[in-house]
A and B are shown apart, each in its own frame.
Chain A
């Protein structure tokens, strides 16, 4: 993918859309177009705005344009034995950095290394008023001004067209290995909670199909010692498993049924939504297929201390995708939306009808 700076072009598009109150649907390469409420509006393709702007391995910082493919970023980082710490899902080889940050999704490493927003240092974007705004910066510690960069993560483009992102990156672990142990679901969940309390170099814990998999990352000696503590056996297919989990390529995900994502405290017991469930993030992320009504799923997630997302609906999903906000949060969402996008032209309704 060639280096391509199109921010001037985008600025004009957003400005004229602002003047004409024309709604825009911001698009990367479409790998995550299933995510969020559908938006009916004029497409704005940001996937051609691409290229790594700067990368200094010894600073642990990379800056790239929104349309840069994750594949390009990963390859570049790998040359210096570094990586994106939050292990973002791609859901297709063309996944872009902008889409990744707008969705704010993080992979299996998230509980141990941090989330997409944790690694964001700076975001430059175009607001709904057609202004180019650079928030944050390229240094790891920076508290000047409100943390709008991180506010953009997971906002699904509703606050601005993300043009450029600076991320903190991490060194690749020297050694990575996976242990596998057999358990039933409740025992596995309890085990994950127990293991998480031990000072171990954990980098993934997932349970599916009667097997608990634990990934360890660190130095040779550190990982070997942790293997002893954990027991079980080495999973020779570990590398593949974590990849397929991240990419939703495991058999579990291969179904024509709406997929729920529940983000809950790892300590919350499995609550009656049926047994069709895969656990990631040491039990804090639960992928579920269920025939229960959406309201029941949302309420159950809330009771468990978290929230639910209709992640990948089977066709014709008529309901909202995200857990409802309470009144005070709703008010703040509306006011923040209009602070960045007063005419509501950027991805209108993608999160909630009112933003």
Chain B
């Protein structure tokens, strides 16, 4: 009772203090108004925060963090909320720090090929703002019209072009980060390296656990004069997988190399009419970019490789419209699957590419075992697999079953030498498979890294790295999976 009163007091004090920092229109406390913030792109998890705060400047973010630190209030940072692992899921006892009002492009330096932006700027807005200079920002997650650059940094996001152009970590130079106690930290610089530890690398992909990214200096690239796409159909996914290995082993580094299985192909074809061969077991989309002469040469070579690997058909997009149409299908793969199923669950494992055939066979076995359909979309060039599990949350128990299937697929990825998340992050979703991937000592070291920057664990507490106690619980569930409880007692 007493503590409940105390809670209310702290909440009121917090609201009053935050209000004086950001103004009345930038603090949300009303339950109905809090609803839109209750989840990110992983909608199965929902929670209302104590309140949402929407600062408009670095100075305001610093004051908000100082206040929360002093009062011991957890802070969850939110960009655009498109994350797929629950990273921006609110903490019921904490503040949700939404950065959507910090969305200015502060400066563009065409000579240095950089842009300095606030964290709430969307990924695509950067490329649009510099297009007239012949420049663009390379990482292009499929969510690029909506996701924020701050979120991209926090997740180290990739896109279909990261085989050649890298992930977020390869395309940023400097970050301004507000630490949990409200200090302003600059990591990286306008130069290509910095003295001391590589904190820029540490911050990238740290899922809002180590600090709040409040400014990003991104690298820009020159728009390649020519980009071309070749599509190939195969009568088995294994063959398509071998074709991918042959292209890369053959010394070609495509700008993008994507695969879809037959189920994904037909979902997409029904939705956007991309012109995909619906009778194929798998298709590959391979994009090459650069100088016209170079691209022409390489497209021809890739086509030859595909044919020699047993492609049942190849199609080169001759013009911009066809190329866009080919890509539109890949980019619409998630919503297309969303159309044919009430719900879908996107898995994000990475595997060594040579294991693709084996992994897909296993996934299809698991799919039968669980009675849930799975469509596969694959960043084939870099081994990042996105099985989409189709389910209906309205059927009792189906979500749990889906999550279990997801876990089994991720276990498989770890077993073959891969990882439980290629680009979507751990968040709350992959805490359990993290226990499989890492030894206790490594998880413990992660906690110590966290403690070095956030000793009281106020930033996004409980996410990204499982506690050893939780892993022990999961381990227990593990042993019992598929067995009757206490089956060992039957002997008596």
Contact = CB atoms under 8 A, between A and B. Distances in A.
Interface string A104-126: 10000011001101100000000
Contacts of B194: 263, 307
Interface string A51-78: 0000011111100000000000000000
A141 B445 contact: no
A264 B193 CA distance: 8
Contacts of A171: 248, 251-253
Contact of B197 (A137, A143, A154, A172): A154
Contacts of B330: none
A158 B162 CA distance: 31
Interface string B404-418: 000000000000011
B222 interface: yes
Interface in B395-437: 417-426, 430, 434, 437
Interface stretch (B262-270, B306-314, B379-387, B470-478): B379-387
A47 interface: no
Contacts of B430: 144
A279 to B, nearest CB: 13
Interface in A244-298: 263-267, 281, 284-285
Given A111-B192, A135-B442, A336 B449 contact: yes
B202 A150 contact: yes
A199 B417 contact: no
Given A60-B248, A145-B438, A351 B196 contact: yes
A198 B162 contact: no
Interface in B369-388: 379, 382-384
A208 interface: no
B419 A144 contact: yes
A142 B422 contact: yes
A225 interface: yes
Interface string A219-233: 111101110000000
B278 interface: no
Nearest to B114: A265
A141 B192 contact: no
Interface centre among A131, A135, A144, A220 (most CB of B within 10 A): A144
Interface stretch (A14-22, A90-98, A234-242, A321-329): A321-329
Chain B, interface size: which category?
35 or more
Contacts of A154: 193, 197-198
Given A264-B191, A267-B109, A305-B190, A143 B421 contact: yes
Given A58-B353, A144-B437, A174-B251, A153 B417 contact: no
A352 B384 contact: no
B382 A145 contact: no
Interface string B156-168: 1010001100110
Contact of B350 (A114, A140, A326): A140
Contacts of B291: 199-201, 218, 221-222, 225-226
Interface in B205-224: 205-206, 209-210, 222-224
A80 interface: yes
B198 A309 contact: no
B298 A139 contact: no
Nearest to A284: B192
B347 to A, nearest CB: 13
Interface centre among A148, A200, A339 (most CB of B within 10 A): A339
Given A139-B350, A322-B195, A328-B183, A145 B442 contact: yes
A221 B288 CA distance: 14
Contacts of A220: 297
Given A146-B202, A266-B112, A267-B109, A325 B195 contact: yes
A90 to B, nearest CB: 19
A309 to B, nearest CB: 7
A166 to B, nearest CB: 11
Given A153-B201, A328-B185, A142 B354 contact: no
Interface centre among A145, A171, A323, A336 (most CB of B within 10 A): A145
Contacts of B488: none
Nearest to A194: B111
B382 A141 contact: yes
A135 B231 CA distance: 36
A293 B223 CA distance: 43
Contact of A144 (B162, B170, B384, B421): B421
A138 interface: yes
B343 interface: no
B191 A335 contact: no
B448 interface: yes
B191 A265 contact: yes
Nearest to A298: B195
3 A-B pairs with least C-beta separation: A222-B294, A306-B191, A221-B293
Interface of A: 56-61, 80-82, 104, 110-111, 114-115, 117-118, 127, 131-135, 137-148, 150-151, 153-155, 158-159, 170-172, 174, 193, 196-201, 218-222, 224-226, 263-267, 281, 284-285, 305-307, 309, 322-323, 325-326, 328-329, 332-333, 335-336, 338-340, 351-352, 355
Interface of B: 109-113, 134, 155-156, 158, 162-163, 166-167, 169-170, 179, 183-187, 189-199, 201-202, 204-206, 209-210, 222-225, 245-246, 248-249, 251-253, 290-294, 296-298, 350-354, 379, 382-384, 417-426, 430, 434, 437-439, 441-443, 445-446, 448-453, 464-465
11 contacts: A82-B251, A137-B417, A139-B351, A140-B163, A141-B423, A142-B350, A145-B465, A171-B248, A196-B113, A197-B111, A329-B185
Given A133-B439, A146-B450, 19 more contacts: A57-B249, A58-B245, A59-B353, A60-B248, A111-B192, A118-B170, A140-B383, A141-B423, A144-B426, A146-B446, A148-B446, A197-B222, A224-B293, A306-B189, A306-B191, A307-B191, A329-B196, A339-B451, A355-B196
